[in-house]
Structure 1
Amino acid sequence: MGIFSESLDKATQAAFTRPIPKGAPARMRFLVRVEKGSTKAVARRLGISQRTVERYVTGQFQHPRKDLADRLEAEVRKEWQPRVRERARKQAATTTGIVIETRARFGFTAAPGSTDDARVRRITQHLPPEYAARLFEAETAGEADARLRDIVAEGLQEVYFKDDGRRADGLGVEFTDVDYVEMDYS
């Protein structure tokens, strides 16, 4: 998972209305419910034995190793509140859009005589719903993180640098050396 897909996932998790289950047994029971009662499927997902899953479900085991605890939390977060997740994404893709905050190197291709040297900028910008929809479609289709970066770069180019077509006609933006990206559904 790349920096852009992780950021989208964090933005989605911010829309959750309830916290994920706290303890390892509760998290394991949740995954067993998701897998329709199959402890074998949960064991396969987590890379542990079926008997270990059963021991967590019954409460015999309480405290997993650090690596198992991290995998368990990640799997629960993937499945937690699917309707809330879908509703937040749908709203961002149709009405509210998405807010991008990033620090990265931006370079330009523009008319001769302009300053097009790349430099690091910190930008916080609201992108319209059509860019949010394109990001979600690309992520759902399993596109690489580079494709998500290209969509964000195009959105920033049009909205931030070109001011929705009111200036900088013919400007092309290069979006490289991404330090961080944070996204939020507005």
Structure 2
Amino acid sequence: MSDNEQQPAPGRGKVLEALARAERKVFTRPTPKSAKSQMKFLLTRAKGSTKALAERLGVSRRTVERYRAGQLTTPQKRLQAALVEETESEWQPQVRAHARERAATSSGMMVDVMAHFGFTCEGSSDDGRERTITTAISPTYAKQILELQEAGATDEDLHPIVAEAIIESYFTDWGTRAAGLRADFTDIQSIEFRF
């Protein structure tokens, strides 16, 4: 399964997972790969508190200590997924923040999406259908999307703003045509963002 075909993490939809992948692509160094190195990294972020890290990962303190010491090396799927997700969420926060700031203030983002788009517009005869679209998202919309993500929005909360961003850049050509066009953005097959 390729990066583009990855299933969303439990509790995450396709849009949120695509935003997380976009952030991982801006890292300047690879994230720790082994369970031991991930555990050591997360312990430094938890200021050495095995109790806090154990609660965060949903395991015992003893389990954290065993992985840190290298006594255990192959975590079960649930713990492995938690280690990867937590490590990536904490990795290079300044690099991630710089990319998000740049997207929200100057460069915007790019989006590649395959989804069903249905339209309503005066005089439109374009029935809804599945489309594959690659387009820019303005810094204004990028800022709204990233702020919603940071505030804990769900995929359903993000769909309307992503649809508006795509309509603005792709369908109305930044407001120069198709005034009043509205699009429904449903059934996302795949989506990728790039900072």
TM-score, normalised with respect to structure 2:
0.91
**Could you tell me how far apart the structure 2 residues matched to 1:99 and 1:160 are?**
11
Q: Which residue of 2 aligns with 1:65?
A: 76
Question: Are 1:110 and 1:116, in contact at CA under 8 Å, matched by a contact in 2?
Answer: no
Tell me, yes or no, if structure 1 residue 42 matches structure 2 residue 49. Answer: no
- Which one-letter code corresponds to 1:138 in the other structure? L
Question: Are 1:103 and 1:181, in contact at CA under 8 Å, matched by a contact in 2?
Answer: yes
TM-score, normalised with respect to structure 1:
0.95
Listed as ranges, the gaps of 5+ residues in structure 1 are: none
Tell me which of 20, 23, 32 is aligned to 1:12: 23
Deviations 1:110-149 (A, max 9, x none): 114x313111100000111111101111111112212211
- Which one-letter code corresponds to 2:136 in the other structure? H
Deviation, structure 1 residue 67 = 2.5
Deviations 1:34-93 (A, max 9, x none): 111100111111111101111111122122223221211111111111111101101111
Q: Which secondary structure state, in structure 2, belongs to the residue aligned with residue 105 of structure 1? A: strand
- Which one-letter code corresponds to 1:104 in the other structure? A
Task: Note the 1:132-143 alignment, pairs <5 A.
Answer: 132-143=142-153
Q: Which has the larger radius of gyration?
A: 1
Question: Are 1:158 and 1:164, in contact at CA under 8 Å, matched by a contact in 2?
Answer: yes
- Which one-letter code corresponds to 2:111 in the other structure? I
Tell me, yes or no, if structure 1 residue 129 matches structure 2 residue 139. Answer: yes
The percentage of aligned residue pairs carrying the same residue is 47
Q: Which residue of 1 aligns with 2:167?
A: 157
Tell me, yes or no, if structure 1 residue 75 matches structure 2 residue 86. Answer: yes
- Which one-letter code corresponds to 1:148 in the other structure? L
Q: Which secondary structure state, in structure 2, belongs to the residue aligned with residue 85 of structure 1? A: helix
Q: Which residue of 2 aligns with 1:89?
A: 100
Q: Which secondary structure state, in structure 1, belongs to the residue aligned with residue 114 of structure 2? A: strand
Task: Note the 1:156-175 alignment, pairs <5 A.
Answer: 156-175=166-185
Deviation, structure 1 residue 165 = 1.5
Deviations 1:139-178 (A, max 9, x none): 1111221221111100111111111121111211111111
Q: Which secondary structure state, in structure 2, belongs to the residue aligned with residue 115 of structure 1? A: coil
- Which one-letter code corresponds to 2:121 in the other structure? A
Which contiguous aligned blocks of 4+ residues in structure 1 show a shift greater than 4 angstroms?
none
The aligned length equals 184
**CA RMSD of the aligned region, Å?**
1.1
Tell me which of 14, 22, 26 is aligned to 2:33: 22
Listed as ranges, the gaps of 5+ residues in structure 2 are: 1-11
